[in-house]
Structure 1
Amino acid sequence: MEEKAKMRRLSTWKLKLRMFLATVLLFGLIYAILMVVGSILGLGGPLFYALLGFGVIFLQYLISPKIVELTMNVHYVSEAEAPRLHAMVDELARRAGIPKPRVGIAEIALPNAFAFGRTKADGRVCVTRGILNLLDEEELRAVLGHEISHIKHSDMIVMTLVSAVPLICYYIFWSTVFSRDDEANLVGIAALIAYFIGQLIVLFISRTREYYADQGSVEIGGQPHKLASALYKLVYGSAQFNRDDLKQVEGVKAFFLNDVSAAYGEIEDLRQLDMNMDGTIDLAELQRIKYGGVKVGMGARILELLSTHPNMLKRVERLSKFT
């Protein structure tokens, strides 16, 4: 038991270090771009675009909960309407040390869950109608623990802030790319390059926070093999979902537990997890992964760089370390 606790502490330290270094690199990138713009165009240029970028992000921060609610067709449920769901959220929130989030159900068939809100006190945890018909109680508890960990770690605020950096670079690019001034054109090209680099860093931070939320679920009582099994089922559920209906929620897929767009391509790889082919991942299977590892192809590793979520094989392998 002490060995597991020590390993979780070490894992937490590594995750925090990765997120800190990525964030420093991201804001260092925008600082360098703004310094170059300032030296060429004058002090008004970078200040204006910085304020514009953060203004847009602040507006997004204010209205995003309503956008998510409308896109996902969310309605909030009372304890009388969903007693089991409320009981699990209440228990996990107390374990996490945060106020109990509002509990909602999204009336979409895609099996998944998500958390959103402006602050910890404004947190909302929602499950889709599809996930309620797919997971057993302990799998659902592990999923809810993951989402509550997102609220505990203030991921909504963190991702909103880091998303501002590529946005500012994008504004600078569009404001200079059609200029007749050669120096301004060079700034525009540099801003475009910084935009793409910034996006990759934001995606890296997003993937790291998914690992962190997985670990958070384990720390507040979720069983690693139950979370792994839930993720396995969600990939299959996403892959079987109607492609046209899937497009309607792709704009908010970063909120989901897995990358629903990548699910179809992940099915073949996931067969190496379910060794007895019963549609779940049990403790014995997860422990075999712990010692035997997984095989992640080069193509999957490259695609992961462009995803908001970690490669599912790597994610399950990491969960196996907590058994």
Structure 2
Amino acid sequence: MLLDPLYLIWATIGYVLMFFIAAFVAPKLANKFSGRLSLYTSMIIIASLTIGIFSIVIAVIFTMLSNYFGNIIEISGLISFVFIGVVISNLLMYFLSPLLINLMYKTEKNAKLQSIVDKVKNKLNYRGKLNAVVTRNFSLPNAFAYGNFIFGKYVAVTPGMLNLTSESELEAVIGHEIGHHLHKDNAVMLLFGLLPAILYYLGYFLFRTGLFYRGKRESGSNAILAIVGLVAMLVSFIVQMLILAFSRMREYYSDMVGAKASGKKMMQYSLAKLHYYYKGNQYALSNLNNNSTKMLFIYAFSNVIANPLKEFEIDEIKKEKYSAVEEFLSSHPPIPKRLEFLDKLPY
């Protein structure tokens, strides 16, 4: 079945199309959006586009299957079964994730870090308790926000980040992470993450079912079933690319909060230090890229600088080239773009 010609043809077309969009179309669209549309407008457009594509594809699948197979109740049941299964599994992960992350990173409370988190939280008028923790078995410089209303909300900082940044820079980093809590990014990204998962598993089920029955008995209807499933899987990757773009915008959104907490220069310095650290340490970068929770980190785009950075060093980073394809496939924007974005803020 893996050598099925239909599968190979459509898979090849899908991957070629995806990388063409990543390499040529997406960068041009991004350049047009920047400068003309605000961050908020861009997020609304991408969110609407994502939901719209998902809704259209589900409607097309439902209509096509109804026309070819006629049993609307059975088709509705199939779509509902996939939807409920994906939602339940994702909700379980969302609710259990704080416990799993605490176990995975062996987090522990830190009184000094808690006082800094409380200070920044009050400055940002965040209402609610935030637990400040330090990771014990992950020391690379980074920070992340996680949690929910059941098991509590957390701001985690690694020992490497504590050593890398000054207190003012650390306040900017913590402000960025509190921004994720303010914007409810964990819940927002969970909801958007359901869309490609539903399309993929629905498509996979239809595709495998079509192939199985084609092997038993040649029929146009079964071929249609396989094609519809394959198209749904292909569209799930496109929707995932849109969600990654949405995630990158949420990072800019939280950078704004970090700048508000401690000034845009402190936010820039903390990002620049992370950039220099991982640029000069390929082992650390590889370790980070292979981490299963890297999407949570403040730095997740593909010698520790303990001294303050100079202005020209920040300017040099802004001039650095970066891969449009890597950016397109990443949940975080490249550091040069984040530094340029911060320049435009009034803080």
The verdict on a shared fold, with TM-score over 0.5 as the criterion, is yes
In the TM superposition, what are the counterparts of 1:205-244 in structure 2 within 5 Å?
205-219=246-260, 221-239=261-279, 240=281, 242-243=283-284
Please say if 1:91 is aligned against 2:119: yes
Q: Judging changes above 3 Å, is the alpha-carbon distance between structure 1 residues 45 and 121 closer, same or farther for their aligned structure 2 residues?
A: closer
Matches within 5 A, 1:213-292: 213-219=254-260, 221-239=261-279, 240=281, 242-243=283-284, 246=287, 250-259=291-300, 262=302, 280-282=308-310, 284-285=311-312, 289=315
Q: Decide whether the 8 Å contact of 1:173 with 1:192 is kept in 2.
A: yes
State how far apart, in whole Å, the 2-side matches of 1:187 and 1:206 are: 28
* Counterpart selection for 1:194 from 235, 239, 244: 235
Q: Residues 243 and 224 (structure 1 numbering): CA distance in 2 closer, same or farther, change over 3 Å?
A: closer
Out of 136, 150, 157, the position equivalent to 1:127 is 157
Alpha carbons of structure 1 residues 136 and 188: separation in structure 2 relative to 1, 3 Å: same
Aligned to 1:310: 333
Q: Tell me what 1:174 maps to.
A: 204
Give, as a single letter, the amino acid of the residue that structure 2 aligns with 1:210.
Answer: E
Amino acid at match of 1:235: H
Write the mapping of 1:11-90 to structure 2, written as runs, cut at 5 A: 14-39=38-63, 40=65, 42-77=75-110, 82-83=111-112, 85-90=113-118
In structure 2, the CA distance between the partners of 1:215 and 1:248, relative to structure 1 (3 Å rule), is: closer
Q: 8 Å contact 1:228–1:319 — kept in the other structure?
A: yes
- In the alignment, which residue of structure 1 is the partner of 2:144? 114
Deviation at 1:248, TM superposition (A): 8.7
Which residue matches 2:12?
none
Conserved in 1, the CA contact under 8 Å of 2:46 and 2:242? yes
Aligned to 1:268: none
Question: How far off is 1:322 after superposition?
Answer: 2.4
What displacement does 1:51 show?
1.7
CA contact (8 A) 1:115 1:125 kept: yes
Aligned CA RMSD, in angstroms, stands at 2.9
SS at match of 2:152: coil
With 304-313 and 231-240 compared, the bigger mean Cα shift is at 231-240
Q: State the one-letter code of the partner of 1:309.
A: H
- Contact 2:196–2:240 (8 Å) recurs in 1: yes
Distance 1:45 1:309 in 2: 35
- Quick check: 1:304–1:311 contact (8 Å CA) kept in 2? yes
TM-score after normalising by structure 2: 0.75
Deviation at 1:120, TM superposition (A): 10
Note the C-alpha offset of 1:53: 1.8
SS at match of 1:45: helix
The equivalent of 1:320 in structure 2 is 343
1:185 is aligned, of 211, 214, 226, to 226
Over the matched positions of the two proteins, sequence identity in percent amounts to: 29
Aligned residue identity for 2:38: K
Q: Which amino acid aligns with 2:153?
A: G
> How has the CA–CA distance of structure 1 residues 120 and 26 changed in structure 2, closer, same or farther, with 3 Å as cutoff?
farther
For the pair shown, which has the larger CA radius of gyration, 1 or 2? 2
Deviations 1:199-245 (A, max 9, x none): 101101110000000001122x2121111111111123334263598
Residue of structure 2 in register with 1:265 after alignment = none
Q: What SS is found at the alignment partner of 2:262?
A: coil
Deviation (angstroms), 1:119: 4.2
- TM-score by length of structure 1 reads 0.80
Question: What is the CA–CA distance in structure 1 between the aligned matches of 2:207 and 2:152, rounded to whole Å?
Answer: 40
Runs of 4+ in 1 over 3 A off after TM superposition: 241-245, 277-282, 292-297
Matched position secondary structure for 1:250: coil
| Equivalent position amino acid for 1:90 in 2 | D
Q: Is the 8 A contact 1:111 1:130 kept in 2?
A: yes
**How many positions carry a matched residue from both structures?**
288
Q: In 2, distance between residues paired with 1:142 and 1:247?
A: 21
